[in-house]
Amino acid sequence: MTTSDAIREPLVDPVLLGRWLDEAGLGGTGEPEIERITTGHSNEVFLVRRGGVEWVLRRPPRTPLSPTAHDMAREFQLLSALSASNAVGAGHALPQVPIPEPVAFSPDALGAPAYLMQPLDGLVVRESMPPLFAADPEAPTAIAHSLIDLLVTIHAVDWRAAGLVEFGRPDGYLTRQVPRWTGQLDRYRTRALPEVDEAAAWLASNTPEMQSPTIIHGDYKLDNVMFAPSLPVSPLAVLDWEQATIGDPLVDLGWLLGLWCDPGDSPVFGGANAALLGHGEVPTRAEMSARYAEASGRDLTHLDFYCVLGLFKLACVMEGSYARFKNGTSDDALFSFLEEGVPALARRALEFAT
């Protein structure tokens, strides 16, 4: 089979999916209906309908470059642990992380690892504000504050009590980051990236002492949070846990704020908060970090390091996507823009390297 033939093959075979649904005892008969949800550029997401029941299905992209970046088993394990933790904490003063409820996992029923979860009816803020939020001048501030408050909640979960002792390797987590991502980049590097290399060198020379470990999301940003389709703004679920682990919580904060644009900033990829701009007051990075520090009690002295780290990591990930596109193993046209986008991410990272 040629590469072009592989790209045309369906990512979810309805016959195999139907067999899995039967084996899992999830009800319904006949061939399931499958609708690709075309948001995101990493794991593939589908809406599945059968016998009046709906699920959301997640599976890895067609040609994953890094198994750890698309590990469905880990993501399902994390969601299951959080679901159980939420159940225990209901009615008690324990953190409640809103998530999609996991339903079933299979390592190979579809020819690739995949899992099913309950669908949610909500709003995700991506390129533009949903009309409901655009009409409310308080929405941008409420959305930004929700992002910080949710992050504090995630980092407050007792991961040991949740059964996640073996989920990550927190010892030495922070010092492993630069070698890990540089090594991954070198596996698919096809061109010189001097700004990325400069950011890596700065990070290696400026790594602070690691914060006490927590659950970290690994890809925490505006469009990975779903909000209820009503006002006032209320978060409904944190999505896309594929890169979650146990590590330094400020990695999540740096990832969120590295692309968060203040007035006068030159945005990369439009800026993480671009959709909020022009619809009301948008909190600055300093205001966002102050809210996190007050609620979490954590020391943010070295926050710039974490912003550099987040942008460096993103540059490495996006270079992998660009390599996949150049090699003809991805049909996502967005990746063609990464020829200039990856160096721009590294330059943005170096702006925080002080």
- Residue found under tokens 């959301």: 56
pLDDT of residue 11: 87
Closest CA to 65 of 47, 36, 41: 41
pLDDT of residue 167: 95
Residues linked to residue 36 through DSSP beta bridges, in sequence order = 46
CB 225 within 8 A of CB 273: no
Cα separation, 17 vs 23, in Å, equals 10
Amino acid at 278: G
Cα separation, 294 vs 122, in Å, equals 29
Burial of 172 (0-12, 13-18, 19+ CB in 10 A): exposed
- Residue found under tokens 């986008």: 341
CB 42 within 8 A of CB 61: yes
- Residue found under tokens 């690994």: 218
CB 99 within 8 A of CB 79: yes
Cα separation, 71 vs 79, in Å, equals 13
CB 128 within 8 A of CB 278: no
Decide: helix, strand or coil at residue 21: helix
Q: Give the phi and the psi of residue 155 in degrees, each rounded to 5.
A: -75, -10
Q: What is the pLDDT along the chain (354 residues), one digit of tens a residue?
A: 344 444 456 789 999 999 999 999 997 788 999 999 865 456 889 999 998 899 999 998 775 545 455 589 999 999 999 999 988 766 666 689 999 999 999 999 999 999 999 999 999 999 899 999 999 999 999 999 999 999 999 999 999 999 999 999 999 999 999 999 999 999 988 899 999 999 999 999 999 999 999 999 999 999 999 999 999 999 999 999 999 999 999 999 999 999 999 988 888 877 899 999 999 999 999 999 999 999 999 999 999 999 999 999 999 988 988 887 777 665 666 677 787 889 999 999 999 998
pLDDT of residue 1: 37
Cα separation, 308 vs 296, in Å, equals 21
Cα separation, 110 vs 112, in Å, equals 5
Amino acid at 76: F
DSSP one-letter code for 239: -
Cα separation, 271 vs 354, in Å, equals 21
Cα distances (Å, whole numbers) of residue 267 to 229, 273, 308: 28, 9, 15
CB 308 within 8 A of CB 195: no
pTM score above 0.85: yes
Cα separation, 53 vs 300, in Å, equals 46
Q: What domains lie within the chain, and their CATH numbers? A: 1-119 (3.30.200.20), 121-354 (3.90.1200.10)
Cα separation, 76 vs 99, in Å, equals 11
